[in-house]
Amino acid sequence: MKYSEAIWEHLNLSYPGEFILLGVADRPHLEMFLFAFVLICYTMALLGNTTIIVLSWIDPNLHTPMYFFLGNLSFLDLCFTTSLGPQMLVNFWRTRKTITYAACLGQLYISLALGSTECILLAFMAYDRYAAICQPLRYTVIMSQSLCFKMAAVSWVSGFGNSLVQTVMTLKLPLCGQNKVDHFFCEVPVFIKMACVDTSVNEAVLSFAVVVLLLVPLSLIIVSYGYITVAVVRIRSAEGRRKAFNTCASHLIVVSLFYGTAIFSYLPSPSNYSRDRGKMISLFYTFITTMLNPLIYTLRNKEVHRALRKAINRNATV
C-alpha cells in the first residue's frame, strides 16, 4: 500500500492532471494557417498511404518484398500522423489548448515508437534494393517471405522497445508542477528540457538510442547504396541503368527526408533544444514526409499505376 501511495505521490509531483500545449499561442494569427496546412497534409497522407496499403494487399502483382515493406511503411506513416494530427487540429480551434496526462503519454510513446521503427525499416528496404540490383539471380532466394516477416518484426519490436525505455525514463523526471509544454504535441526532448533535475542520464540514453537506431541504420543504407552504385555503373545498357536508378530513386528521396529531419530533431542535446526549430521540424516530419512518401513512391512507379487502374476499372464494372 505504501509503495502504491509513493508512486502516486511521485506522479502527482511530476505531472499535473493535464498539460497545456502552447504551440503558437504567442502568435495566434498563425493558428488558422497551420490548421489549414495540417488538415490538407493529414488528409492527403490518409488517402495516399491507405491507397498503397490497399493496393499492396489486393493486387497479386504487388505481392513482392519491395511492396511488402512499402505497405509496412505506409501503415506506419498512417498510424504516426493519426496519433498526432487530430489533437493538433482540435487545439488550433480551442482557446484552452489542453491534453490529458494519458493522451500526452500516448503521444510521447507512440510517436517515438513509430519513428524508431521507421529508422530500421528504411534500412531493411535499402537491403532489399541491394539484393534486387546486386544479386538479381538470387533475389527471390535471399528475400524470402520468412526473412521479410522477420525484418518487419525486428523493426517494430525494436522501435516499440526503444520507446518503452525512453518513455519510462522520461516519466521518472519530476517537472515540479510545470504543465506548459512549449510544443504542438508531447515529445521526449521537450519533457527532458522541462525537468527540474539533472537530466544527463536521460540525455546519454537518448544519445545512445540515436546512434543505434538512427546513425547505424543510416550508415548501413549508405554502404548498401555504395554497392548499388558500383553495380549500376557496371550495367552496360542505358535502359538497364535507368531502370535500376528508378528502382532506388524513390527510396533515396524518402531516406533523405526522414533521416534529415530526424537528425536535426534528435541529434542535438535536449539541453540545446531550440524551441522554434523543434516545432518546425516536428511539423515537417509529422505531416510533410508522411504526405510525400506515398506520392514519391507512386508518381514514377508503373506497377502501382497499373494496379490502381485495375482497381478503378474493377470497381467501375461492379
Confidence of residue 316 (pLDDT cuts 50, 70, 90): low
Confidence of residue 302 (pLDDT cuts 50, 70, 90): confident
CA distance 225 to 249: 11
**308 burial type by CB count under 10 A (0-12 exposed, 13-18 middle, 19+ buried):** middle
| CA dist 57 → 16, 22, 309 (Å) | 44, 41, 15
Identity of the amino acid at 185: F
pLDDT at 301 over 50: yes
Residue-averaged pLDDT of the chain: 83
CA distance 206 to 199: 11
Read off the pLDDT of each residue in 260-269 and give the average, rounded to a whole number: 73
pLDDT tens string 11-24 = 444 555 788 888 77
pLDDT at 271 over 60: no
Which residue ranges form the domains of the chain, and what is each CATH number?
Answer: 2-317 (1.20.1070.10)
Residues 163/109, Cβ–Cβ less than 8 Å? yes
pLDDT tens string 207-262 = 898 889 888 999 999 999 999 888 888 877 777 777 777 778 888 888 888 888 88
Q: Return the top range by mean pLDDT from 139-153, 234-248, 258-272.
A: 139-153
CA distance 163 to 146: 26
Please report the pLDDT score of residue 222 as a whole number. Answer: 92
Residues 159/117, Cβ–Cβ less than 8 Å? yes
What's phi and psi for 20, nearest 5 deg?
A: -110, 115
Please report the pLDDT score of residue 288 as a whole number. Answer: 86
Please report the pLDDT score of residue 148 as a whole number. Answer: 94
Nearest to 251 by CA among 108, 58, 103, 121: 121
Please report the pLDDT score of residue 281 as a whole number. Answer: 79
pTM of the model: 0.86
Q: Taking each helix axis from N to C terminus, what angle separates 302-317 and 289-299, rounded to the nearest 10 degrees?
A: 90
Percent of residues, the chain, with pLDDT higher than 90: 27
Residues 51/128, Cβ–Cβ less than 8 Å? no
Confidence of residue 315 (pLDDT cuts 50, 70, 90): low
pLDDT tens string 55-100 = 888 888 888 898 899 999 999 999 999 998 888 888 888 878 888 8
Confidence of residue 300 (pLDDT cuts 50, 70, 90): low
Q: What is the DSSP letter of 17?
A: S
Pairing of strands 180-181, 98-100: unpaired
pLDDT at 142 over 80: yes
Confidence of residue 189 (pLDDT cuts 50, 70, 90): confident
Nearest to 49 by CA among 291, 289, 254, 251: 291
Read off the pLDDT of each residue in 134-155 and give the average, rounded to a whole number: 92
Please report the pLDDT score of residue 249 as a whole number. Answer: 82
Confidence of residue 156 (pLDDT cuts 50, 70, 90): very high
Pairing of strands 180-181, 18-21: parallel
Read off the pLDDT of each residue in 33-49 and give the average, rounded to a whole number: 91
C-alpha cell at 6: 509513493
Please report the pLDDT score of residue 6 as a whole number. Answer: 46
Confidence of residue 4 (pLDDT cuts 50, 70, 90): very low
Nearest to 22 by CA among 186, 133, 162: 186
| CA dist 79 → 35, 72, 73, 208, 287 (Å) | 20, 11, 10, 25, 12
Is 100 strand, coil or helix?
strand
